Amino acid sequence: MKTFVLIHGSWHGAWNWHKVVPLLEKAGHKAIAIDLPGMGRDKTPIGEITLQTGVDKICEVLDSIGDKAILVGHSKNGIMISQAAEYRPEKIEKLVYLAAYLIPNGKTQREYSMQDTQGVLKPYVDFHEASQSTTLRPEIYKEGLYHDCEDDITELAKVLLSHEPFVSGVTPLQLSKEKYDSIPRYYIECTEDRAVTPFIQRKMYTETPCKKVYSMATSHSPFFSQPKELVEIFLEISNAD
C-alpha cells in the first residue's frame, strides 16, 4: 500500500480530488487530499498566506504518515511540493507534477507564468490589493479549466472557487541538489490545457528533467474529465523502480 498526498491548484481545494480518492482507495492505497491554508474549508485569512504557510501544512501531513508518501501537485502548487521536498526529502518517495509549475532553484512561479502568453486565464484574473490575493472570473471557468468536463463541475466551481494567495507565486524557491534533487520526479502533461499551456509545461520539464513524462489529451482538470486514466498513471508511477 502506498500513500498519496494530493495538493490542489490555484483557487481550488481538496474537492479537486473527489473522483480520484475513491479510485486510489479501491486499488488498495491511501489518499489524502488537503485544503491548503486559506483555501477550501481552511479559514486562515488569505492575506496571511505565504509560500511557507502552505509548505508547512504539507510538511505537517507528511510528518503524520508512517511511511514515505507520493506527493502530487497540480498547477501553481507544483511550487508547494517542490519546496516541501526540500524540507522533507526523507518523507517523500516520489514527486508527481500534474500540469504543474516545475520551477528551478531561485526562480518563481510568476516568472514562468508570465512566459505562458497563450493561456486564456490571465485577462480574467482580478487582483485584490488589500488581501494580496486574486480571484478568477466565472465566465472563463468552462473554457479555461473544464472544457472537457461535465457541466456540473463548472457549477460546483461557481460555488467553491475562492481567493488565491498572491505572495507564494512571487517567492523564489530554495532547492538543493542534495535534498530536492534526490527525489524522483514525474510529470503528467495535459496536451489540451488552456490554463497552463503545453508550451510552458514542456519548457519546464525540459529545463528540469523528470524520470518520465506522461501525456493526457485533456484540459487542465483530468481529475474531473478522466479520473480513471489519471489514476492508472498514478498507479504506474507508484510501481516504478
Q: Which residues are known catalytic residues?
A: 75, 193, 220
Phi and psi torsions of 189, nearest 5°: -90, 145
Cβ burial, residue 228 (10 Å; 0-12/13-18/19+):
exposed
Query: Of the candidates 29, 32, 25, 27, which has an alpha carbon nearest to the alpha carbon of residue 8?
Result: 32
| Bridge partners, residue 126, by sequence | 135
> What is the rounded CA–CA span in Å between residue 71 and residue 92?
7
Identify the residue whose cell numbers are 517542490. 82
| Bridge partners, residue 194, by sequence | none
Residue type present at position 188: I
Query: Of the candidates 53, 49, 52, 54, which has an alpha carbon nearest to the alpha carbon of residue 71?
Result: 54
Identify the residue whose cell numbers are 463548472. 154
Identify the residue whose cell numbers are 507544483. 78
Identify the residue whose cell numbers are 526540500. 86
Query: Of the candidates 150, 163, 161, which has an alpha carbon nearest to the alpha carbon of residue 219?
Result: 150
